């Protein structure tokens, strides 16, 4: 029997996450991509604006209109900047669409949002009803949600790395768990910024938003047993990818096998999460272009610190890939529908 397709839209399709959504959705077997909206004021061919989509000649880029979007789509992905996205997501949700918002606007309680994003809060009721879409840890809530707050890219990597430890009953040493995180520059979006020009970015490396990164409270909310956390965010001179190494100090020595069996249990059967065997650490090139997250573990017995490494593609598992994964869960489809592509290598 032929499977029915669902009408889906993308708002913010000219941004990096929006483009990745178009790329994934245009070949998703259960999706009819019926609405693609940008920031402009007139209708243009999508391929004219974004030549990588020349093989999708029937798609137009339209100005955003909530009535048109709601009429044409059952599911809408909102890939707009924080501060703009929330109101659009809530308007579409109020019109009856299933909405997956990639921004930070609906992930945090209002007071925390104002404190970390320095923006006016979005509707409190909508924020309360939005389900946090870290799929592996919130699958049940996502399966019935009409408003999904897709997690941040750093947050996804950090939470996937550390969440299994909440089920371990071993005392931590005093002091913060450190999440040392590095991202490729597409994490900052497509808007032109002087610091991201080739001459300034290439052969360079530095920390940014020190002590102030807006993903901190979102990570702490999911890892309450490990907070407060110290999140250190750094910019890698590459296009895509997030590399996290989290440092967790233990009171006493622990057999590393304990951690391996804990993580193997936590991620058993998960299609997108691979826990690497002892002695292996993950690499970005093993996940780029795919929705995979690879996790590696090392217990340093001299310092009694557990290192947890995780890598993912910020535009895939860190954004569009996880958003599609959430749609698959919400629609009751196989979770990897349209997401089975392997990483690009080299």
Ligand X SMILES: NC(=O)c1ccc[n+]([C@@H]2O[C@H](COP(=O)([O-])OP(=O)(O)OC[C@H]3O[C@@H](n4cnc5c(N)ncnc54)[C@H](OP(=O)(O)O)[C@@H]3O)[C@@H](O)[C@H]2O)c1
Residues that bind ligand X (CB under 6 A): 12, 14-18, 38-39, 79-82, 84-85, 102-104, 152-153, 186-187, 189-191, 314-315, 318-319
CB 59 within 8 A of CB 46: yes
218 burial level (CB within 10 Å; 0-12, 13-18, 19+): buried
Any idea what DSSP says for residue 81? -
Nearer to ligand X among residue 152 and residue 282 (C-beta): 152
Q: Work out how close the CB of 82 gets to ligand X at its nearest, in angstroms, rounded to a whole number.
A: 5
CB 228 within 8 A of CB 176: yes
CB 181 within 8 A of CB 232: yes
Nearest residue to ligand X on Cβ basis: 15
Query: Facing residues of 297 across strands?
Result: 308
Active site residue 153: yes
Nearer to ligand X among residue 151 and residue 296 (C-beta): 151
Nearer to ligand X among residue 8 and residue 153 (C-beta): 153
Nearer to ligand X among residue 97 and residue 266 (C-beta): 97
Q: Which of 287, 299, 288 is closest to 262 using CA atoms?
A: 299
In the sheet that holds 44-45, the strands lie side by side as 44-45, 60-63, 31-38, 6-11, 75-78, 98-101, 147-149, 131-132
Give CA–CA dist 217/229, Å, rounded. Answer: 9
Q: Work out how close the CB of 13 gets to ligand X at its nearest, in angstroms, rounded to a whole number.
A: 6
Q: Work out how close the CB of 1 gets to ligand X at its nearest, in angstroms, rounded to a whole number.
A: 36
Q: Work out how close the CB of 130 gets to ligand X at its nearest, in angstroms, rounded to a whole number.
A: 14
Nearer to ligand X among residue 156 and residue 165 (C-beta): 156
Active-site pick, 97, 153, 245, 293: 153
Q: Which of 186, 281, 280 is closest to 235 using CA atoms?
A: 186
Neighbours of 131 (CB within 10 A): 20
Q: Work out how close the CB of 247 gets to ligand X at its nearest, in angstroms, rounded to a whole number.
A: 24
Nearer to ligand X among residue 296 and residue 318 (C-beta): 318
Neighbours of 87 (CB within 10 A): 16
Neighbours of 130 (CB within 10 A): 26
Give CA–CA dist 193/81, Å, rounded. Answer: 15
Torsion sign, CA atoms 95, 97, 98, 102: negative
Q: Work out how close the CB of 173 gets to ligand X at its nearest, in angstroms, rounded to a whole number.
A: 32
Q: Work out how close the CB of 219 gets to ligand X at its nearest, in angstroms, rounded to a whole number.
A: 14
Q: Which of 230, 184, 188 is closest to 210 using CA atoms?
A: 230
Nearer to ligand X among residue 122 and residue 153 (C-beta): 153
Which tokens hold the place of 206? 């530095």
Greatest CA separation for the chain: 64
Q: How many helices (H) and strands (E) does the chain have?
A: 12, 15
Active-site annotation, residues: 153
């Amino acid at each position: 029997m032929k499977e029915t397709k669902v009408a889906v839209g993308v708002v913010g399709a000219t941004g990096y996450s929006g483009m990745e959504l178009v790329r994934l959705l245009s070949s998703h077997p259960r999706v009819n991509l019926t609405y693609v909206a940008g920031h402009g004021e007139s209708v243009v061919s999508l391929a004219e604006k974004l030549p990588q989509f020349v093989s999708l000649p029937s798609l137009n880029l339209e100005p955003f209109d909530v009535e048109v979007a709601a009429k044409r789509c059952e599911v809408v992905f909102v890939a707009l900047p924080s501060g703009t996205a929330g109101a659009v997501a809530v308007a579409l949700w109020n019109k009856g669409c299933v909405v997956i918002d990639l921004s930070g606007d609906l992930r945090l309680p209002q007071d925390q949002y104002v404190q970390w994003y320095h923006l006016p809060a979005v509707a409190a009721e909508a924020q309360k009803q939005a389900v946090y879409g870290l799929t592996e840890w919130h699958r049940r809530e996502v399966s019935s949600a009409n408003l999904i707050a897709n997690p941040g890219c750093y947050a996804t990597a950090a939470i996937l790395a550390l969440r299994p430890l909440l089920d371990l009953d071993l005392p931590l040493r005093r002091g913060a768990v450190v999440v040392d995180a590095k991202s490729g520059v597409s994490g900052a979006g497509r808007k032109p910024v002087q610091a991201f020009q080739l001459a300034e970015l290439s052969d360079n490396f530095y920390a940014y938003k020190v002590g102030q990164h807006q993903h901190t409270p979102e990570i702490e909310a999911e890892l309450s047993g490990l907070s407060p956390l110290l999140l250190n965010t750094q910019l890698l001179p590459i296009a895509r990818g997030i590399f996290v190494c989290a440092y967790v100090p233990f009171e006493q020595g622990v057999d590393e096998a304990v951690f391996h069996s804990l993580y193997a249990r936590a991620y058993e059967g998960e299609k997108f999460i691979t826990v690497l065997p002892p002695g292996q650490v993950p690499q970005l090139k093993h996940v780029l272009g795919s929705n995979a997250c690879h996790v590696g573990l090392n217990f340093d017995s001299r310092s009694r610190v557990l290192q947890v490494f995780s890598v993912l593609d910020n535009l895939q598992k860190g954004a569009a890939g996880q958003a599609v994964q959430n749609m698959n869960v919400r629609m009751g489809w196989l979770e990897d529908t349209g997401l089975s592509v392997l990483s690009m290598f080299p």
